[in-house]
Every structure is written in C-alpha cells, then in structure tokens.
Structure 1
Amino acid sequence: MPQRPDPAPNIKTRSVKKRWFTKLGPGLITGAADDDPSGIATYSQAGAQFGYSVGWTLLLTYPLMVGIQLASARIGRVSGRGLTEAFSRLWPAPVVWLLIASLVMANVINLGADLNAMGDVAALVIGGPKAAYAVFFGLLSLGLQIWLPYERYVRVLKWLTLSLLAYVAVAFAAHVDWIEALKCALWPRFQWNKEFVTTVVAILGTTISPYLFFWQASQEVEEIRRVPEDQALKRAPHQAPAQLGRLKTDTWIGMGFSNVVAVFMILATAATLHAHGQTQIETTSQAAEALKPIAGNAAFVLFGLGIVGTGMLALPVLAGSAAYALASMLGVRKGLDRPAAGAPAFYGILAAAMLLGLAIGVSGVDPMKALVYAAVINAVSSVPIMAGVMLAGSSSKVMGDLGIPFKWKIVGWSARA
C-alpha cells in the first residue's frame, strides 16, 4: 500500500494551529470513559462507607494514570500501530493471545455490568422494565459505532463527556464540608482493616484499567488516518514536537477531568449517604435512590442521568478496545473510520462483544458479582499489560528514536507497581 507523501518540515500541520481545547480528543474521551457506571458504583460505595477519608486516593492515581496513558498514546502516535502489534513484536504469540483473551473477557463482563446499571437507573427514574432500557442503550451504542461516520462519532463522544458534570452539580447540591474534604485529600487517613484496604485497592483498580490503554493507543492511530497530513512520527519525526505536545495536553486534561469527577462522586455520597448513616450501597441505582430523600429530587435525577450518559460514553470504549485488540491479533482490517463493509470482521467482533455484554446485563446476573469477576481478571492481566506498554514504549524496534522519556518511565513503572 503506497505511503502518503511526507509533508515538508517547514509546513505547519493542522494541530499546530488549533487552540488547546480543540486538541482534546483521545485523552479526554479515554479519561471520561474511566468514570463508567462500574466506576460510579465503586466511588459511591467508597464515599458512602468511608466518607471523605478516601479522597486522597484520586490524587495518588492521577500522575500514575497520566504516565501509563501517555506511554500508550505515544506508542500509537509514534509507531502508527496499536498495542497488540507492539506486544507482538516483543513477546511470543501465545503470551499476547492470553493477554488479549483476558482483556476481551473482562470488557464483556464490564459491558454487562454497565448495561445492567444503566437499565436499572433508567427504570428507577422513568419507570418501566430495566431490561428494555438495557437493550435500547446497548443497541443504540452499537448502531452509532457501526453507522455514524468516525469524525461525527468522535464529536458525539466528546459531547458525552459533559454528562460527567452532573456529579459536580450533585456534590454542590449536597452541602459538602469542603474544609474537611480538603484536609482528608491532603492528609491521608488510613484505617487498617480489610474493608478500607479493599476499597482503596478497588479505587486504584477502577482508575487504571487495561482497556483504557488499548483504546487511547488505537484512537491515536485513527487520528493519523483521519488527518491527511499526519503520519506516524517514526516516518515524520519533524511532526513530533507539535504532536507530542498535543498528546500531553490531551492526556493531562483527560485524566485530570476523570479524577476530578471521581472526587466529586466521593464527596457527594460522603456528604449525603455517609453523613446520614447509609454506609452500605450495593449498586448505582441504590445510591441514586438513597440520594433522593437526603439531597432532593434534582440530585436524584442528575445522578441517574449521569449514569446513563457516562454509560453511553463507556460502552463504545469497552467494546471498541476489545475489537481493536482482537482484530489486530487476527490480522484483519480494523478501525471505526472504516465503513462496516470495509472491515466486516472488526465490526463483527465489536457487535459480538456488545451483544454478549447485553446478554449478561439482562440475564439477572448480580452486577456487583460481575464487577468483581471483571476486576479480578483486570487485576491479573493489568500487571503484564502495563509491563508490555512500558517495554514497548522503550523499545527502539517499536519507537525508533522517539521512546518514552526517562521521567515518564519512572511514573509508568510506578503505576505497574
């Protein structure tokens, strides 16, 4: 396949001329997708059970998230290939297959749990059968991914990130003790018991998830194909200063947005549920329902709408990252920028992941148990996957002369630890 001509080094690319907020894309969408209904359940449980005392965890995870996501995005932008291809250049095929299988399995289970939560809260707010809502949301998301042109689809995802601001509104409606919240964030308070340690580990596991690595790397590759003058930086190193600068801005803001919203989720449930002695929350719908008599109907509706909005953002990221990873292993055409007829196997995998997740979501499986299973699989697979990201990002075979800087190697390896 002929390569596009390399633009002259003195020609400014489109990304140089853009304002900073127009540069936001893969990083912002990835960060916002991290606050999916499953994540909301984790943060709500943490705030309800332990109040403000777990707020410091989001300050800890922020630089770690940025480090591993920057490495993933850099691999995609520099090499022009996703993480699966990068891993395949470093490890034997059976090892890569095992990691991809664990990613796909965890993503499908997570899809089921998210669809269950979305259906549950929609039924709670609007009324009607939750299974019907779950089916509607699942099929709507799948249809948008298949039939909406990629450029428009990215815009939809960027606008959906605004749904997370619902939790900021909920926190301000909940009369948070801001002084106490700030003290707990800056001066960590530990409780040496199993429940507290488990909650902290759950928060760390929720904020740093393998599917986010694959998605952001793949979206950087999609952006190279979408913008005519862009190329993989290995082939066009003169584009590196502008593109890597954009990538940093996008990732820092995207991960910051994700963590700020997560903090507000914890603050909202701490100021309402925990403050009123309601410390045992099993699901997101329970959290929404418990908010109603305490924070009012507006907070209840905002919380519920936020779950649906974030779910619609997370579903394509979960299904899409699984499809990108598996299609890469199978060596078939892939990409949301291609029409369905141009990449049938890729869209078939994406549809299968969504429909399997939908089957789990409407089967009556306990969503919290499903999340536990997904978390266990992610916990087992995340360590070698993060190691693979850091090794690939440091490999001249994958990155040429544009490997990860030393300071980001330290942060990235710290996230793995």
Structure 2
Amino acid sequence: MTQSSKPAATSGKKQSLWAKLGPGLISGAADDDPSGIATYSQVGAGFGYAILWTALFTFPLMVGIQTISARIGRVTGQGLAANIRRHYPPWLLYGIVLLLLIANTINIAADIGAMGAALKLLIGGPAHWYAIGFGLLSLGLQIFVPFPRYAPILKTLTFALLAYVATVFVVKVPWSEVAYQTLMPSLSVKSNYLLAVLAVFGTTISPYLFFWQASQEVEDQRAAPGEEPLVEAPEQASAELQRINIDTYVGMGFSNLVAFFIMLTAVVTLHLHGITDIQTSAQAAEALRPLAGDFAFVLFTAGIVGTGLLAVPILAGSAAYGIAEAFRWHIGLGLELLHARGFYTIVIIATVLGVILNFTPVDPVKALFWSAVINGVISVPIMVVMMLMAVRVDIMGRFVIGRWLRIFGWLATVSMAIVVLALFATWLD
C-alpha cells in the first residue's frame, strides 16, 4: 500500500487548514460537475430567483449526510458498500451498487460530452475527439499516478470552481433583490417546479458522493502510518473527527456557494433577459457571452473543463468502490493495477462507456434526466441505511452519531423522500 501525504493522527503535529481538507473538499467540489453546472444553469434560467433558496436549504443537509458517510468510513475502516454487505441483505446491496454504476456512467457521459463541447467553444475543433482525450486523461491519472500524488491533483482542481465565483463579479447583480428573493422565495407546487427542486436536490445530495467520501476516508487511514479504524484506535478519534468536521463543512460550504453563484449567474444574465430554456452547460456558456461579455464566457467555459477533470474520476471511482466492496475485491487508488484488477476494471468500464455514449443517438439531456431520477430514487434507501448504520453500536462502537447529526441526517433523508414522492404524485395526476 502506498503511503498517504497526510500525517498520522498520532504524530502530534499541527496541520494547516489546507492539510486538513481532503475527501470532504473534493466531494463537495465534484458535486459541481459539468452536468451539475447544466442543472443549476437550467433551473436558474427557467425559474429565476425562485430557485436560489435551494442552495441555502441543502447546505446543512449536505453537511449532515456527508459527515455521516465520512464517519462510517473512518470509524469502521470499511466503505459504505462493505458495511452494507456485512449487515444487510444481498439484494439491497446489489440493487444499490448496480443503480449507482448506471447513474454514474450516464453522469460520466454527460460530463465528458460537456467538457468536449466547452473546449470546442474555447479553441474550436472536434468536440468528440476532445471527449475521447478527456476520458483517456482521466483513466491515465487514476491508473498510473500514485495516490499520494493524485490526491493533491484533485484538491488543486477544486480551484477551477472559483471561476463561477469570479463570473458573478463581472456581471451586474442586484444584490438587495437577490438577498430578499433568496430568503423569501416564491414557492410553487407545479410539477415543473418540483422537478427543478428535485434536480437540484439530486445534483446536490448524490449517492456517488456518499460512497466516495466514505471510501476516501478508508484510503487515507490505510495509507497513513500508525492510523487504524477508530473502533480499534479510539485514542485517534478526537483529532480525526475534528478533521472530518472541518473538511466537510468547508467542502460542502464551498460546493453550495458555487452552486448558488452558478444559479445566480443564470438568473441575472439569462432569465432576466428572457432566455429560459437552457439544456447544457456549454449552451449556458454560449448564451452568456453576448449578455455578460467574453471574460465571463471564458471563465464559465474554462470552469466546465476544470470541474469535469475533477468529477469524472470521482464518478468512476465511487462506482468502482461500490462494486468492488460488494464482491470483496481488492480496492483502492492506492493499489497498483495488477493488485486491484477488478476495481480498476470498473473504473475503465464506466469511463469507456461514458465516452462511447457520446457517439450514440442517445439524447444526453434525456439520459441525464433519467440519471437524476435514478440518483433521487436510490438516494433515499441509501440514506436510510446510512442513518441506521450510524446509530448501531455493533457497527460504530462508542462513535455512534450524536443528536445533531441524527437530526440533520434524517432531515436530509426525509426532504429527499418528500421531493421524490411529490414529483411522482404530480406525474400520476
């Protein structure tokens, strides 16, 4: 096993804030992937100020559920799928990881396609060839770059999201109106509005983020000298749980801030100018140019490429963690290809299929819609199982979650379930 760059929890050394950021920051940043950018642009353009409240509402929910997933991994020394395998029926495990693989593969296709289209907007040329190049680059980084050098690359790529913070400050924003409409939104029970809210929830609270953050905690723990699962080394708990809290709060805060700015950019540059039908992130960037100028266009478009390079490995990796843990294969980006062939095979399959889908007649917008539906549907049972595991003494030992994590974890679960059920009810009508 390769060694992590993270100091052992027992070393007694103080860590900088940047050193404490890892799985939480990367998970949060990956949440704003190109397909997420498309979703946020769509709902911002389509519903204006009435959708901005979702970024505030989902923040504590994200913090709660992602902290729980991280704790499960760090406390038990096993990822989510491995814990589900040990404590729940096989049909539940296999159903979840299969749907996770399908949804992630579709997301990879959408992200790679968006990256190719964005690069074409910036420099011209063939978008499909760019998509192939991005897929190969992603695979190369995951398979051939040792994890201690690869993890800092992912952390650095989170800076790509600052493009969306910068974009807001090069366009005219009526901040007082934004503040009022965000805190006092005009809500609706119409099916198209509920679909938009579900899209935001499904994009923000996504199963692949649960699996990724839990498994990355396991990776870091196994790779760092002297670190053990907290159930076996409770003396390490104080420093590690504090690090997880900081990492997750910062990561989810960063994620939701960027999501808010993407929606806000779409509101003030597209919706308020009568452009309400945006289907892709590249289309949003192209529509931005005549309204906000070339600089905003370049920032927005370059951000699509940067976030895609961050998100595609995480989508493929989270699917691989789920499948490999379900079948008890050797897992981890810290292992070489020959030592974790099953794990890397899933990474390759998911990425290659994602590239191939861009060369088929499959409508990427419709595929992404069904991916969001799948994510929304499978999020609920996964979150229920996570909440049940997190309070079981036989799984978490003395580190069962406390009252506030239970409140926000269940609030996230119930909120997602209500939105999904409300959407299905409107369809039945």
Q: The TM-score by the shorter chain falls in which range?
A: over 0.9
Give secondary structure in 2 for the equivalent of 1:334.
Answer: coil
Q: Which residue of 1 aligns with 2:418?
A: none
Q: Pick one of 349, 352, 371 that aligns with 1:352.
A: 349
Q: 1:303 aligns with which of 273, 276, 300?
A: 300
Q: Give the corresponding residue for 1:401.
A: 398
Equivalence for 2:256: 259
Give the structure 1 partner of residue 90 of structure 2: 93
CA–CA distance in structure 2, aligned partners of residues 252 and 189 of structure 1: 28
Change (3 A) 1:74 1:362: same
Q: What corresponds to 2:107 in structure 1? A: 110
Structure 1 residue aligned with 2:141: 144
Unmatched runs of 5 consecutive residues or more in structure 2: 1-7, 415-429
Map Cα deviations across residues 383-408 of structure 1 (whole Å, 9 max, x no partner).
11011111111112211111111221
Query: Relative to 1, partners in 2 of residues 1:15 and 1:186: Cα closer, same or farther, differing over 3 Å?
Result: farther
* Structure 2 residue 212 is the aligned partner of structure 1 residue 215: yes
Shift of 1:415: 0.8
| 1:123-202 mapped onto 2 (5 Å cutoff) | 123-202=120-199
Q: Is the 8 A contact 2:80 2:214 kept in 1?
A: yes
Please name the residue that 2:29 is paired with: 32
46-55 or 215-224: bigger deviation: 46-55
* Structure 2 Cα separation of the partners of residues 280 and 211 of structure 1: 28
- Residue aligning to 1:392: 389
Partner Cα separation in structure 1 for residue 270 and residue 337 of structure 2: 46
Q: State the Cα distance separating 1:16 from its structure 2 match.
A: 5.2
Q: Find out whether 1:63 has 2:53 as its counterpart.
A: no
Tell me the amino acid that sits aligned with residue 252 of structure 1: Y
Question: What SS does the aligned partner of 1:173 have?
Answer: coil
Alpha-carbon distance between aligned partners in 2 of 1:15 and 1:384, rounded to the nearest angstrom:
39
Q: Does 1:73 align with 2:70?
A: yes
Instruction: Provide the rounded CA distance (Å) in 2 between the counterparts of 1:35 and 1:12.
Output: 30
Which range is displaced more, 296-305 or 256-265? 296-305
Q: CA deviation at 1:188?
A: 2.1
TM, length-normalised to structure 1:
0.95
Q: What's the CA shift for 1:274?
A: 1.1
Match of 1:43 among 21, 40, 43: 40
| Contact 2:29/2:251 (<8 A) preserved | yes
Deviation track 1:178-201 (CA, whole Å, cap 9, x = no partner) reads 111111122222134332222112
- Output aligned runs, 1:309-320, within 5 Å: 309-320=306-317
- How far the C-alpha of 1:238 sits from its partner, in A, is 0.7
Q: CA deviation at 1:257?
A: 0.2
The equivalent residue for 1:6 is: none
Instruction: From the superposition, tell whether residues 237 and 302 of structure 1 become closer, same or farther in structure 2 (CA, over 3 Å).
Output: same
- Paired residue secondary structure (2:252): helix
Q: Which amino acid aligns with 1:85?
A: A
State the AA in 2 paired with 1:19: S
Structure 1 residue 90 displacement after superposition: 2.3
Deviation at 1:14, TM superposition (A): 4.1
| Amino acid in the other structure paired with 1:197 | L
Using the TM superposition, name which of 364-373 and 250-259 deviates more: 364-373
In the TM superposition, what whole-angstrom CA distance separates every residue of 1:86-133 from its partner, at most 9, and x where no partner exists?
A: 112221112211111111111111111111111112112211111101
**Any gaps of 5 or more consecutive residues in structure 1?**
1-10
Partner of 1:410: 407
Tell me if the contact between 1:165 and 1:261 (Cα under 8 Å) persists in the aligned partners: yes
Verify the 8 A CA contact 1:393 1:403 in the aligned structure 2. yes
Identity percentage of aligned residues: 52
Q: How does 1:225-244 map to 2 (within 5 A)?
A: 225-244=222-241
> Do structure 1's residue 250 and structure 2's residue 247 form an aligned pair?
yes
Q: Paired residue for 1:372?
A: 369
Q: After TM superposition, where is structure 1 displaced by more than 6 Å over at least 4 residues in a row? A: none
Separation in structure 2 between the aligned mates of residue 305 and residue 359 of structure 1, nearest angstrom: 23
